[in-house]
Amino acid sequence: MKIEKTIEWIKQDNLKGVSRMIDQTLIPYEYKKVDIDTTEKMYNAIKTMIVRGAPAIGIAGAHGVILAALESLNCSDFKSEVISKANYINSSRPTAVNLSWAIKKQIEIVENSNETNEKIVELLIENAIKLENEDIEINKKIGEFGSAVIPKGATILTHCNAGALATVGYGTALGVVRSAYEKDSTIKVFADETRPRQQGARLTTYELTRDGIDTTLITDGMSAYFMKKGMIDVVVVGADRIALNGDSANKIGTYMVAIAAKYHNVPFYIAAPKSTIDSSIKTGDEIVIELRDKKEVTEINGKSICANDVNVINPGFDVTPSSLITGIITEYGIFKPEDLYKIFE
Ligand code: MRU
């Protein structure tokens, strides 16, 4: 897929602008962009997953603070108004640290500036665009480092979508796939469907087949079967929050894949930028797991698939313990989980 930003700030007249994003709830049926122009719409876009994937919602958060500042321009208490709206956007999804990371960077600009409100908006826009461009550069570096661990002709298993759509462009786990494919067009990908929101089926197969990469869709319960058959050479997935010891939160079902990979001696890699590492937490036990609407499990395309009175629980993520992780691929190189703290040195 050609690099067209999944999410970008579009400048309009005066200081005005919108956050333009691909509506990921419509793919693969429709490829459409939507313009988000209020903080409330941004909260909903993140919550309903119009924009999703840790790095992409980080950029959405950065754009959200610009919208917060535009909405607060004439407020007597401009700074505290912006911060309160920024906190509101931050509360939309709890697990991916990139959201609070990017919002914090924007709030620092607001707090540390003695400029006019208008100038602060300009600085926020400048910073958001810088974060967008850096995201693509970082993903290319992750891809370059990661491609070194992909054997010639390998079949790579991935879970969820850690691709161009989950970032501003290129992707993290799929950045590794893309970079490996540039060097060896015989590599193949097995994509887990990823229930309940089917990011693997809807988004990963959409991206990879457009790039001409040989992609096979499997359901979530099939990965151990194919590992046992010797058909998977390496697993590469993304992450939403990584603790200092390497424990990594990613889409629900990742943990199960990691256990199967360990059992079958298949290397299991996390691909993620430094901004996904939460240096304030020592282990994955401290990661808050988002609980999502039960309807994501009980319904498909608006139709119930189960008994009306059944109990349902729908955690969006799980934490893969570092003991199951072969390496964490970052823009600074590949780290063994026990060495991850060195990235901050
Ligand atoms: O609920 P989602 O679709 O936002 O979850 C996305 C994932 O779990 C991704 O694997 C993760 O954010 C990494 S994206 C580069």
Per-residue pLDDT reduced to its tens digit, 6-27: 999 999 998 999 999 999 999 9
* Ligand 1 atom at minimal distance to the Cα of residue 251: 8
* Ligand 1 atom at minimal distance to the Cα of residue 54: 12
Taking all residues of the chain, what is their mean pLDDT, rounded to a whole number? 97
What mean pLDDT comes out for the span 310-333? 98
Residue 293 designated active-site? no
SS3 269: strand
| Contact between residue 240 and residue 54 where contact means Cβ atoms under 8 Å apart | yes
Rounded distance from Cα 123 to ligand 1 centre (Å): 28
* Ligand 1 atom at minimal distance to the Cα of residue 171: 15
| Ligand 1 site, residue 54, Cβ cutoff 6 A | yes
Half-sphere exposure of 295 (CA within 13 A, CB side): 4
Per-residue model confidence (pLDDT) at position 3: 59
Domains and CATH numbers, the chain: 7-137 (1.20.120.420), 140-344 (3.40.50.10470)
| Ligand 1 site, residue 164, Cβ cutoff 6 A | no
| Ligand 1 site, residue 172, Cβ cutoff 6 A | yes
| Ligand 1 site, residue 162, Cβ cutoff 6 A | yes
C-alpha angle with apex 225: 223 to 227, nearest 5 degrees? 70
What mean pLDDT comes out for the span 250-261? 98
Rounded distance from Cα 190 to ligand 1 centre (Å): 17
SS3 291: strand
Active-site residue, selected from the candidate residues 37, 233, 240, 318: 240
Per-residue model confidence (pLDDT) at position 2: 52
Q: Which candidate, 215, 318, 312, places its Cα nearest to that of 259?
A: 318
Q: What percent of the chain has pLDDT over 90?
A: 98
Nearest CA to ligand 1 atom 15: 162
Per-residue model confidence (pLDDT) at position 256: 98
Answer whether residue 284 shows pLDDT above 70: yes
Answer whether residue 1 shows pLDDT above 80: no
**pLDDT tens sequence across 257-267:** 999 999 999 99
**pLDDT tens sequence across 44-71:** 999 999 999 999 999 999 999 999 999 9
Q: What percent of the chain has pLDDT over 70?
A: 99
**What is the distance between the alpha carbons of residues 49 and 165, in angstroms, rounded to a whole number?**
11
| Ligand 1 site, residue 53, Cβ cutoff 6 A | yes
**pLDDT tens sequence across 75-119:** 999 999 999 999 999 999 999 999 999 999 999 999 999 999 999
**pLDDT tens sequence across 208-249:** 999 999 999 999 999 999 999 999 999 999 999 999 999 999
* Residue 210 CA: distances (Å) to CA of 1, 29, 107, 166, 236: 5, 14, 38, 16, 20
Rounded distance from Cα 33 to ligand 1 centre (Å): 19
| Ligand 1 site, residue 316, Cβ cutoff 6 A | yes
Half-sphere exposure of 297 (CA within 13 A, CB side): 14
